[in-house]
Amino acid sequence: MKTLTENDLEHVGESIITIKGTDHCLGSLMHFNGKGSFCAAYGRVPVSKEDADIHNKALNQALMEGLDKNCEVGMCGVFYFTDGKVTTFCGTQVNDGHIVSSGNKRKTIYFNRKGMKFKGVLRKDGDDFTAKRIG
């Protein structure tokens, strides 16, 4: 995979950072002081902490809008199980109310959002999981 440069990126510091000449955007960015910003799909990217924050906020908003307006039965998304809540990477709570979970090694999580029902499996050693809309 090619390392991305500043010239490869559009909308830095404005909104969701996209890759020139494609219909792709960067995923959620993690910034480490002294090391830079990282994207799971593209590795290290030339994005400041401030620009990463702008991107993550805009991406989070778009993901939530997409979930609420376009998520059909059978579609999946990646979420996090934090302090008994289902959240996005940025910490926005996804679930409406109660979460049902079961299992010891792998916890099955059922949650609702705006009348939609989701099911996902949380690994024992992680806090992220893929959930599928089931109703």
How much is the pLDDT for 5? 94
Spatial contact of 58 and 15, defined as CB atoms under 8 Å apart: yes
What is residue 115's predicted lDDT score, i.e. its pLDDT? 94
**pLDDT in the model for residue 83:** 86
Model pTM score:
0.86
Q: How many CA atoms lie within 13 A of 73 on its CB side?
A: 4
Contacts within 8 Å (CB) and 24+ apart, 17-23: 17/45, 17/47, 17/51, 17/55
pLDDT in tens, 18-51: 999 999 999 999 999 999 999 999 999 999 999 9
Provide the pLDDT for residue 50. 98
Task: Measure Cα distances from 54 to 17, 61, 103 in Å.
Answer: 9, 11, 38
Given a cut of 70, the residues of the chain with pLDDT beneath it are 1, 103-105
